[in-house]
Amino acid sequence: MKVISTEYSQILAARLAKASGFDLVDVRFSRFPDGELYLKTGQTGDEVLVVGSVADSDALVQLILLMDACRGAEITLILPYLGYARQDKQFSPGEPLSARAIAGILSGGISRAIVVNVHDPGVLRFFGIPVQSLSLAPEIGRYLKDAGFREPLILAPDDGAALFAAEVAAVNGWDSDHLEKTRISSEEVSMSPRKLCAESRDVVIVDDIISTGGTLATAARLLYEQGARNVYAACVHGVFAGGAYSHLIASGVREVYCSDTLERGCSVYSAAGVIADGISRC
Ligand code: R5P
């Protein structure tokens, strides 16, 4: 078995190869003069783990090209971040069901896939092949253990992420809760923890994705108003669209942590170990 990756997941792929004891395949990436993507791989062998986050449209095309270059080998596709997964319904007539479209393209010619904290596991049915769904919640819990928090409270920004927050907190026996949003007027909302008080506590808001950062910035502001001592943010997939990282720090979030499913400067925990365990169970 060998590990090969797109440019977008090269650090995670190298960590995965090390964690699982497999060789990493060398790949060179470039573009044709007209801007089209090109790549060339070294020897892949009979079985290969193809690693590629669908970070954006170029990442998707690069992944499709890489899978084609590996044709003939048995491919296990590792999707650390499955972009396009949030358009998981036709919300109004005329829209694509993007998650279905992307899953259909990516599942051709492969035997199985692995995803990490996909936004809604319901989209996995679109792949039509076995897909193993992994969670980084325990990994995040282990990382936060040594951060030196005082009276830590792990908080989900909505009830959809409440189980995720509970799994992060459980690693260290900490409290967890989720925020409840109350609309005060058409322009004003209030948010507060459903059961527990944030006053004088170090609060870590955890979520699967930070995209624009709007959800967490609003939550951080309201938690400070309620007397939180410090607010931190931890997620799996650090998308950070439109300057989200700066927006969070400017909103008073002390530190922002994410994993290497998207390779960022604040990727402080890795999905490699969880994926290596998942592969060993396949
Ligand atoms: C929503 O259900 C997700 O779990 C995230 O809370 C959301 O995608 C975050 O988006 P943003 O950072 O743009 O507020």
Tell how far the Cα of 158 is from the centroid of ligand 1, in angstroms.
9
pLDDT at 157 (0 to 100): 92
**CA–CA gap between residue 132 and residue 127 (Å, rounded):** 11
Q: Please write the tens of the pLDDT for every residue from 90-100.
A: 999 999 999 99
Which residue, judged by its Cα, is nearest atom 1 of ligand 1? 209
Which residue, judged by its Cα, is nearest atom 13 of ligand 1? 212
Q: How many CA atoms lie within 13 A of 237 on its CB side?
A: 24
CB 52 within 8 Å of CB 106: no
CB 140 within 8 Å of CB 170: no
Q: Please write the tens of the pLDDT for every residue from 15-57.
A: 999 999 999 999 999 999 999 999 999 999 999 999 999 999 9
In the chain, the domains with their CATH numbers are: 2-135+271-281 (3.40.50.2020), 137-260 (3.40.50.2020)
Tell how far the Cα of 78 is from the centroid of ligand 1, in angstroms.
23
What number is the average pLDDT over the span 142-166?
95
pLDDT at 195 (0 to 100): 87
Structure tokens at 57: 């449209």
What number is the average pLDDT over the span 160-169?
96
pLDDT at 109 (0 to 100): 87
pLDDT at 105 (0 to 100): 96
Q: Please write the tens of the pLDDT for every residue from 62-73.
A: 999 999 999 999
Ligand 1: atom nearest CA of 161 is 4
Tell how far the Cα of 212 is from the centroid of ligand 1, in angstroms.
8
Q: Which has more confidence, 186 or 134? A: 134
Residue 212: CB within 6 Å of ligand 1? yes
Q: Please write the tens of the pLDDT for every residue from 228-279.
A: 999 999 999 999 999 999 999 999 999 999 999 999 999 999 999 999 999 9
What residue spans of the chain are helical by DSSP H?
10-20, 57-69, 98-106, 137-145, 162-170, 214-225, 244-250, 272-281
Tell how far the Cα of 210 is from the centroid of ligand 1, in angstroms.
6
Structural element, H or E, at residue 79: strand 74-79
pLDDT at 189 (0 to 100): 67
**CA–CA gap between residue 82 and residue 142 (Å, rounded):** 24
Q: Please write the tens of the pLDDT for every residue from 173-208.
A: 999 999 987 767 776 767 888 888 899 999 999 999
Give me the active site residues, please.
Answer: 181
pTM, entire model = 0.94
Where on the phi/psi map is residue 61: left (φ > 0), alpha (ψ -120 to 50), or beta? Answer: alpha
Ligand 1: atom nearest CA of 119 is 4
**Cα 108 to Cα 128, 155, 269, 278, distances in angstroms:** 9, 39, 31, 21
Coil vs helix vs strand at 39: strand
